[in-house]
Amino acid sequence: MGDLRKPLALLGLVLLVFAAIYLLIGANMSAPAKFLAALAILAISAEGVSRLTGLRSEWGIILLRTKKGMQIIKDVAKHEELWKLFADIGIGLSFGLLGFFAIKRSVLGRIGVLIVSSVLLTILLAVVFPFVLPFLSISFGIAVGNAGNGSAGTAMHVMDGWILVGLIYLGGITTMVTMSLVIYAGTILFAFVNAVFLGNGVVSNTSPGVTLLLPGINLPLVEGIIALFIILLVHEGSHAILSVIGKVPLISSGIALFGVIPVGAFVEPDEKRLAAKSTEVQTRVIVAGSTANLLASLAFFILLLAFVYLSGPFRIHGWEVVSGMQNGTIITSINGIPVETGNITLEPNSTALVQTNYGEIKMPVSEKGGLGITYMRLSSLPMIQYEFFPFNFIFRALALTFCLNFIIGTVNLLPLPFFDGYKLVELNVPWKIVPKIIMYVCVLAFLMNLLPWLF
């Protein structure tokens, strides 16, 4: 019985943490307060796990180390030329045409790599990216930077010009995400100045440019854990594969926990040996993580589209009411006409028979022929819903995985301390003062993006 005490205590701790998070989700608290409370719960649970298992906890993170996965990594790394090409394409995605100076190939080889990376960059920004923020804001209710409101939209409006498009192709995703951070920081600063000197509430109506994403708090718990696990698996796995190819020893691999929640896989290369390698090797190892996330985002976006197409017969067809009726109301027909047909004309000052998921409702029609409601069509992304839970689960898991892979892949390229982007810029910019200046600007912009959380 004595041998079972610690496993039972560990199980009890896990159940207690999940119960606390469940209660926290429904608590009448602001979003920042919920974030802080969730972080505190997970940090405390990490201390409990550490004491019960003897595993070391750092800032709530516990690493379950093993060497079992390292042989798989070494087997995959045997395809050296393919992985080097993969990393070089990642350099093109990260630095755009300026990647010409960071890629170590013949002139024709560099041009070929940049053509491929430019095509991928176009697909990612023109096809995948337009769905990321709508999915997070509409499907998952997360206000992320410029998805939030009109103030944030100003930043996006500034970024619509051909000049910025040219800069993105010239400087890649690193340029795009850096300019996004700085421009939105300017939007927040403008709102803050207005609030201080004009006394209006603009800052409180502006979404933060930086948002913590936590399963069980502002992400679905199980789908969020699955998405984060895949993100870190492909990210760390790619770092590891290029480390093996670059003859950098791997110390260990394993699974990372934040408190009691698995948040992904990790691989530890020998950092000292990596730092002693050439710029070419270091750049390929570092850029591999974000490259893997961006390509995984594209792959899961394609899987999501395929799933939506194949699961058409199981989708809910109608309008989801946003305001004017009970929350969660879905209208399927009006006066016997399916709303999806779009051929509904209402006679002013009459009564309409509205078929909903709560039954048939009689609603007055206004003088202008309207019902006084706002709604979203469930016939297209990202508003799609299904009649059965398994389909909704798969849809949300695929959507989260493609969205978060894109966000992690791009944000990780920011020239900020502890981000891969800073190391990439530091390695490949010959004037060492330039990465420092860029870093300080980004740090200030990052802090400014956090400012709305205080209001």
Q: What was the pLDDT predicted at 160?
A: 52
- Is the pLDDT at 114 greater than 90? The verdict is yes
pLDDT score recorded for residue 148: 39
Decide which of 407 and 187 is more confident: 407
Say which residue, 23 or 178, is predicted with more confidence. 178
Least confident of 280-284, 325-329, 354-358: 325-329
Distance, in Å, from the CA atom of 235 to the CA atom of 288, rounded to the nearest integer, reads 7
Name the strand (E) or helix (H) holding 32.
helix 31-53
Q: Is the pLDDT of residue 308 over 80?
A: yes
pLDDT > 90 in the chain, percent: 33
Distance CA 56, CA 46 (A): 9
Token digits of residue 11: 């199980």
Question: For position 152, what pLDDT does the model report?
Answer: 35
* pLDDT recorded at residue 161: 62
* Residue 230, token pair as written in the block: 């895949």
The predicted structure's pLDDT at residue 103: 95
Residues in the chain: 455
In this prediction, residue 371 has a pLDDT band, given cuts at 50, 70 and 90, of confident
Whole-angstrom distance, CA of residue 174 vs CA of residue 344: 47
- The residue among 173 and 214 whose pLDDT is bigger is 173
**189: Cα within 13 Å, side-chain hemisphere:** 11
Residue 187 near residue 155, CB atoms below 8 Å: yes
Residue 268 CA to residue 341 CA, distance in Å, equals: 56
Give the C-alpha separation, 152 to 186, whole Å. Answer: 10
CA nearest to 243, candidates 281, 207, 206: 281
- pLDDT for 99 equals 95
Q: Span 45-60, mean pLDDT?
A: 83
What pLDDT is stored for residue 41 in this prediction? 86
Whether the predicted pLDDT of 202 surpasses 70: no
Dihedral sign of CA atoms 131, 136, 139, 141 in order: negative
Q: What is the mean pLDDT of the chain?
A: 83
Most confident of 53-62, 256-265, 376-385, 421-430: 421-430
The structure's pTM equals 0.80
Q: 168-192: per-residue pLDDT in tens?
A: 899 999 999 998 888 888 888 877 7
Q: What is the DSSP secondary-structure string of 64-116? A: EEESTTHHHHHHHTT-HHHHHHHHHHHHHHHHGGGGGGT--S-HHHHHHHHHH
Residue 92 pLDDT > 80: yes
Q: Specify whether the CB–CB gap between 70 and 77 falls below 8 A.
A: no
**pLDDT score at 124:** 95
* pLDDT value of residue 449: 80
Say yes or no to pLDDT of 89 above 90: yes
pLDDT of residue 317: 79
pLDDT attached to residue 423: 94
What is the rounded radius of gyration, in angstroms, for the C-alpha atoms of the chain? 25
Angle at 165 (CA atoms; ends 163, 168), nearest 5 degrees: 110
Give the pLDDT of residue 60: 79
What residue ranges do the domains of the chain occupy?
2-58, 70-312+392-454, 322-378
What percent of the chain has pLDDT above 70? Answer: 86
> Stretch 100-122: mean pLDDT, rounded?
96
pLDDT of 158 reads: 43
| pLDDT over 90 (residue 428) | yes
Is the pLDDT confidence value at 209 over 70?
no
> Per the structure block, which two tokens stand in for 412?
């990780």
Lowest-pLDDT choice from 10-19, 201-210, 392-401, 435-444: 201-210
Predicted confidence at residue 296, as pLDDT, reads: 97
Question: Using CA atoms, how far apart are residues 164 and 74, in angstroms rounded to an integer?
Answer: 41
Q: Which of the 8 DSSP states describes residue 139?
A: I
Collapsed DSSP state (helix, strand, coil) of residue 62? strand
As a whole number of angstroms, the distance between CA 8 and CA 15 comes to: 11
Whether the pLDDT of residue 341 is over 90: the answer is no
99 vs 448, residue with greater confidence: 99
What would the mean pLDDT of 187-205 be, rounded to a whole number?
Answer: 68
pLDDT of amino acid 408: 92
Q: What is the pLDDT of residue 147?
A: 41
CA end-to-end span of the chain, whole Å? 53
Nearest of 399, 422, 154, 191 to residue 297 by alpha carbon: 399
- Phi and psi of 354, rounded to 5°? -105, 120
- Angle value at C-alpha 340, between 339 and 344, nearest 5 degrees: 40
What is the per-residue pLDDT for 26?
A: 72
Question: Would you state the pLDDT for residue 143?
Answer: 55
- pLDDT confidence of residue 335: 82
The helix or strand, by DSSP H or E, that contains position 52, with its residue range, turns out to be helix 31-53
**Cα separation, 382 vs 392, whole angstroms:** 12
Instruction: Report yes or no: 268 and 250 within 8 Å, Cβ to Cβ.
Output: yes
* Average pLDDT, integer, range 422-437: 91
State yes or no: pLDDT of 432 exceeds 80.
yes
Record the tokens describing residue 167, joined without a space: 């800069």
| pLDDT tens per residue, range 131-166 | 998 888 776 666 554 443 333 334 444 445 677 788
Within 13 Å, how many C-alpha atoms sit on residue 1's CB side?
0
* Residue that wins the pLDDT comparison between 449 and 230: 230
Question: What type of residue sits at position 51?
Answer: R
Distance CA 237, CA 219 (A): 24
